[in-house]
Structure 1
Amino acid sequence: METHVDELPTPRRVVVNAIRHSPRQGARIAGLGAHRPGRVVGNDEAAAAAGVDAQWIEQRTGVRERRYAGQAETVVSMAVEAGRSALRDAAANAAEVDTVILASCSMPSPMPNGAAQVAAALACPAAGFDLNAACSGFNHALAVADALVRAGTASGVLVVAAERMTDWVAPEDRNTGPIFADGAAGALVLPSSEPGIFPVAWGSDGAKADLIVIPGATGRMEIAGRRVFRWAANALAPVVDAACELAGIKPRDLKAFVPHQANLRIVDALAQYLDAPRLAVARDITGSGNTCAASVPLALQALRRSGEITCGDPVLLFGFGAGLTYAAQVVRCP
């Protein structure tokens, strides 16, 4: 993604819609799971395909290596593995899941939906539906799961984000090929006497929908990299502020910040805005690339696995991307 943006005008601030919780039961993330494909692709290989230098990729995106799915690793199969891992982490069984939400923008066809297939593979007696908000898909799906549990409509929601972005980008395209990658991660959401998922701050700017597209004629992603970079790095601050306010927390009280792993420069710009020196900031993009909807839960799982966050820690999750869509919420680490 090209990031020389000095000549671009500063984008207008986004509009943030915030839904406050009613005083009913809360919801929490009870378990996290992930599936990272086995094939690791370094910058030398990605650079050769894109006709650029390996250092050029790292300097402009922060990516050093990424994971590519094998032929047998589909969006659904990766989602199943991530979901199974989340159930295991929560010490829960499939019978406790009555709803499955699959966040993805890379399903190979519009029908059948993937969530129902995930539910069947895991033997969950569940309703299943897909949600496509691109790179903010996990945050949107988590907000829906939280609302379903708090309303009493669902008692156990498995939220999984899975992407095979390598099916939708051209390796030779320097703007997309070296950046996007594959993977899946998920969370089991259960009722809680105390809220572990706080209100979502979200919105969209469809007037800029043409900045990230996959035209039907080509089936390959096209992205206006510099304009998207400027929008994400400069216009999204109100979303961060709103999410913290809705959770009743100051940025300095957060233990970690997990933004969408689009570009390391964007991650660092948003982290700098939070101005919390002791904050653990997810930089999973360096080893995973941009996995769209899967990037936030993959990065969250990586922070917990490293020991940088522990059970109960307040963490700010923040997704943004094609649509253009954005969503953020504070959660407590399971």
Structure 2
Amino acid sequence: MKSTLLIVLIFACPTLALAGTTYTVNVLTDVATGAGTSGSLRYCITTANATAGATAAAPHIIQFAAGGTGTITLGSNLPTFTTPIFIDGGTTVPAYTFWNPKVRLVGFSMLFNNAGGSDSHLKGLVFSNGTPHAIDINGVNNLLIEECFIGTDLAGAAGEGTANHGILVQLNTGMTVKNCIISGHGAHGILAISSANLTVIGCHIGVNKAGNAAIANGAFGILLLDASNNARIGGLAGGTTDSMNVISGNGQVAIGLQGTAKSNIRVIRNYIGVNKAGNAALGNQFGINDAGTVTTFLVKGNVVSASTAQGMYFLNTVGLVIKGNYLGVDATGMTSIPNGSNSLDLNGANGAIIGGSAAGEGNVSSGTGGPGQHG
């Protein structure tokens, strides 16, 4: 009796790793023209959207050759991203250095309104004279915007903002705005609506590249509206100047919080109302203003001076901690740069912790037009 031995060989088939494609912008035209992986910016975005393989870890990359640097005048909004894309106006651009951008987009907006475009990244771009906003984000998560000038010229010296907002972000989670200039807009520099885990670090908001003159946003530098929880504005305690924001020269409020309840807000190590050197006034109307919306609010290590009204105003804020701030003085604490009214106004913010016993936890308040603290 013969028996048949059936041997089944199982071959392991490795899963092919997905990877993004690199595209190169080599012309300044806004027409969607190109071939293969090279062409105009509009062509490269459109082609990247239609190409599979991009992931959060390995997005499509759009870089710029010498022929693609300069000013691109947009005839309409750029295509929204439907897949992760990194527009890199820095790494491979000839003669690019930090805060010395070479690619300027004039007119209209960059839209992010397709969830497929989550995990995208913009670097080293200048957004001038956009409409209605420079960057408009709705429902797209985990975006990184870095080393961009949003509302100025290529030099970061003159305002070329929108009539509305520099960055409008709605229903987003996990956006980081890093080392950007956001100035010259008719309304707010950044308006975040129900957007959690927002991080803003190393930015000039309402001022120029040098940090020594105002390019005002007409209303707020940053406005957190509704459930914009877990926001971090500025560096962590003990952070470096690289994570510090300069938020000055704005028509109304440097950092405002309004609308429905939000929690865990951290405003740490910012220069508010003064220049980058921390020794001269550029002003805001209010420095920090919470209209009764926040539970758990840490304000630490900031200079808040030169406001025409209050330096800091808190209405019914719960879990408020204010430590190590310089109010109405320069960054050394030795020279008066007064706020027009109270440096610190607590209106129903019961249980607030002001200062502390550890080194550096005390607040310095001086040189104000009204009482240093009112509550």
Fold in common (TM above 0.5): no
Q: Which gives a bigger RCO, structure 1 or 2 (Cα 8 Å, sep 6+)?
A: 1
Which of the pair is proportionally richer in strand?
2
Instruction: Mark the structure with the bigger radius of gyration.
Output: 2
* TM-score, length-scaled by structure 1: 0.23
